[in-house]
Amino acid sequence: MLTPADDYLVHQTPHTFDRVFTSDRNFYDRYFFNGYRRDGDVYFALAMGAYPNLGVFDAAFSVVRNGKQRTVRASRLLGHDRMDSKAGPITVQVVEPLKKLRIRVAKNPWGVTADLLFEARSLPFEEDHFYRESRNVPVMDYTRMTQHGSWSGKLTVDGVSFNLGDDTWWGSRDHSWGIRNVGGRDPRGAPPDQLPQFFWNWAPLNFDDLCTLYTVSEHADGTRWHQSGVAMTPYPDAVAQACEVDHELTFQPGTRWLQKATITMRPAKGRELEIHFQPLYHFLMKGIGYGDAKWGHGMWVGPNEVDGVEYDLASEAPMQNLHVQTVSLVTAGRRKGLGIFEVIALGPHKKYGFKELMDPAR
């Protein structure tokens, strides 16, 4: 079906823009944004995704303040117009591609509203392509772009408003698309030939004069099936330099959540950068749809549904929430900054002593 997107010279297939190149049920196209005040006291994140072969479009916006994580989420029938980026009260608008994007969360029963502008601090960085198989079945085949930025605008939680332009609010965003498990359990193919295992790190960080990205994904023996690293000077003199990366992590006893971390970034030219993390708290990724049993990405909830939830972070069981972003103060030599360290540690990982599917750190 013809839609407004078809009037642009951007087609990648012989079909109209509402159809993608593959019939794979797991094709997705998703935004992620996060933001934080310089002291880390308030944190917010958004996820928004389209699932063309499932007919679903969903979004969630979640804020942490005073030990509580409040979420507003929406899901709807996708329809044909792929440029319609609104679900319930949540909207994302591309104001200037790769430079400025706007997030809006309209008034809703869950007490969270926002009208926020993301302005790029760094160049957009295309991470190495993601590809992973289970037996011989592709389960990941996608591209992700990550970018650092600053925020302005207004965020309100339960009547308390924050004017982001009055302080330094940094953050990051990504845009990824391709094949990745969505919409519930994928029934295709033979069962896995070994214990499920997934070790994932992703850490975009902001300093006054530097933006960095570190990410690795490893097998149980520590060999890597994906890695990317980059150090970037902010605009107006934006430069990006690729880095080799490594990690030394300490997990909280009884959990698979980070207690502290050090990552090392080694550019081809210049000095090695050692970055130390001081965790402040953990943001639950289920709050923006990652792994939620009902409101997970691409799950059919209904033709036009809106919902909300609040988590008391002190009451959440770490081993029931393996996927978190650890909001952290960071230091690199004399530099002081802020960012997140996203972790999923499922199954064995030799370096950190995990031997079973869900054994916690000792």
Query: What CATH number should be reported for the domain holding residue 155?
Result: 2.40.370.10
pTM for the structure as a whole:
0.96
The answer as to whether 357 is a domain residue is: no
The answer as to whether 164 is a domain residue is: yes
CA atoms of 331 and 339, how far apart (whole Å): 10
Q: Please report the pLDDT score of residue 137 as a whole number.
A: 82
Q: Please report the pLDDT score of residue 135 as a whole number.
A: 78
Mean pLDDT, rounded, of the chain: 95
Q: Please report the pLDDT score of residue 213 as a whole number.
A: 98
DSSP string over 62-93: EEEETTEEEEEEEEEE--S-TT--EETTEEEE
The answer as to whether 6 is a domain residue is: no
Q: Please report the pLDDT score of residue 202 as a whole number.
A: 98
Comparing 43-57, 102-116, 135-149, 239-253, the range with the smallest average pLDDT is 135-149
Eight-class DSSP state of 235: T
Q: Please report the pLDDT score of residue 136 as a whole number.
A: 80
The answer as to whether 10 is a domain residue is: no
Q: Please report the pLDDT score of residue 349 as a whole number.
A: 98
Q: Please report the pLDDT score of residue 324 as a whole number.
A: 98
The answer as to whether 285 is a domain residue is: yes
The answer as to whether 152 is a domain residue is: yes
Q: Please report the pLDDT score of residue 185 as a whole number.
A: 74
pLDDT in tens, 182-199: 987 777 667 766 678 999
What are the angstrom distances between the C-alpha of 78 and each of 42, 53, 143, 302, 328? 32, 10, 22, 11, 36
Percent share of the chain, pLDDT over 90: 92
Q: What is the mean pLDDT of residues 116-138?
A: 93
Q: Please report the pLDDT score of residue 225 as a whole number.
A: 96
What is the domain range of residue 112? Answer: 17-185+194-352
The answer as to whether 228 is a domain residue is: yes
**Could you tell me the two tokens for 206?**
């902001």
Q: Please report the pLDDT score of residue 188 as a whole number.
A: 64
pLDDT in tens, 265-323: 999 888 999 999 999 999 999 999 999 999 999 999 999 999 999 999 999 999 999 99
Domain count, the chain: 1
Q: Is pLDDT at 107 greater than 90 in this prediction? A: yes
Q: What is the mean pLDDT of residues 247-266?
A: 98
3-state secondary structure 194-212: CCCCEEEEEEEEEECCCEE
The answer as to whether 127 is a domain residue is: yes
Q: Please report the pLDDT score of residue 269 as a whole number.
A: 86
